[in-house]
């Protein structure tokens, strides 16, 4: 699906108080950005922000950063954030950046959990390294996660999920904690689940949702 460009998106993103524009200058200093020493969690490719904002509202004791590479998509998350339901959240910040820059923005061990929700499957084999669960990205996540930190991944794409399981099983420094091929019928893994826009859409069609949780050793 072609991404629709919104002409004023860049200016809104750059001027919004919750967007950190000098992210690389905050590497190793995110506790100062939030003004507290609470644990830090990141959602990469947060889309319109439903998962991030609802999760942050339910867990004020944790700080959250939403990363989105496209300003036109980030704009929609900011519009949601600015609603009465979420505008008082103090434990959320946003970054407009690509996941490949992760290590330039976060220091080793600076975050305790990374969320990947319905990432682009990049179905062609020649694009496999672009998948956010590929071995190259797993290496990046391992370096910014604290020991014992977790990676949570959800998708409706079976091929991507099978690929992701194989990448984790073959990667150094990772242990598979749990996985399911039917999240919404798995009582243990579905406990406390917050659905994304895509998750609600696909599950309403009867599509199974896949989820895995991996631990950084």
Is 120 annotated in some ligand binding site?
yes
Alpha helices in the chain (DSSP H): 9-15, 30-34, 50-58, 71-81, 102-105, 135-144, 158-169, 187-190, 197-204
- By the 8 A CB rule, do 112 and 39 touch? yes
Closest C-alpha to 49, from 17, 85, 21, 22: 85
Distance CA 198, CA 196 (A): 5
85 is in an annotated binding site: no
- Helix-then-strand count for the chain, H and E: 9, 7
63 DSSP β-pair partners: 40
211 marked as binding residue: no
Q: Where are the beta strands (DSSP E) in 53-182?
A: 63-68, 92-96, 111-117, 145-155, 174-180
DSSP state of 204: H
Look-up: residue for tokens 């100062």? 32
Pick the catalytic residue from 120, 162, 172, 182: 120
43 marked as binding residue: yes
Residue 27 bridge partners (DSSP): none
Per the annotation, does 98 bind a ligand?
A: yes
Residue 120 falls in the annotated catalytic set: yes
Residue 68 assigned to a binding site: yes
Q: Can you list the positions of beta strands (E) in the chain?
A: 40-44, 63-68, 92-96, 111-117, 145-155, 174-180, 210-216
Q: Binding site annotation covers 31?
A: no
Q: Flag whether 156 is marked binding.
A: yes
Binding-site members for substrate are: 124, 156, 196-199
Q: Which residues are catalytic?
A: 120
Binding-site members are: 43, 68, 98, 120, 124, 156, 196-199
Binding-site members for S-adenosyl-L-methionine are: 43, 68, 98, 120
């Amino acid at each position: 699906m072609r991404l629709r460009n919104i002409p004023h998106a860049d200016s809104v993103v750059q001027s919004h108080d919750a967007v950190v524009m000098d992210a690389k200058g905050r590497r190793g200093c995110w506790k100062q950005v939030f003004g507290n020493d609470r644990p830090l969690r990141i959602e990469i490719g947060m889309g319109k922000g439903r998962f991030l904002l609802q999760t942050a509202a339910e867990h004020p004791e944790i700080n959250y950063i939403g990363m989105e590479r496209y300003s036109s998509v980030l704009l929609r998350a900011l519009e949601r954030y600015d609603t009465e339901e979420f505008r008082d959240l103090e434990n959320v910040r946003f970054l407009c950046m690509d996941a490949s820059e992760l290590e330039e923005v976060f220091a080793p061990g600076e975050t305790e959990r990374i969320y990947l929700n319905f990432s682009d499957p990049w179905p062609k084999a020649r694009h496999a390294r672009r998948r956010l669960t590929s071995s190259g990205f797993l290496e990046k996540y391992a370096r910014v996660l604290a020991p014992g930190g977790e990676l949570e991944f959800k998708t409706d794409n079976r091929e991507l999920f099978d690929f992701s399981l194989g990448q984790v099983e073959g990667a150094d420094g990772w242990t598979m904690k749990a996985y399911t091929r039917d999240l919404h019928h798995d009582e243990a893994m579905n406990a406390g689940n917050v659905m994304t826009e895509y998750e609600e859409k696909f599950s309403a069609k009867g599509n199974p949702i896949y989820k895995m949780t991996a631990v950084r050793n």
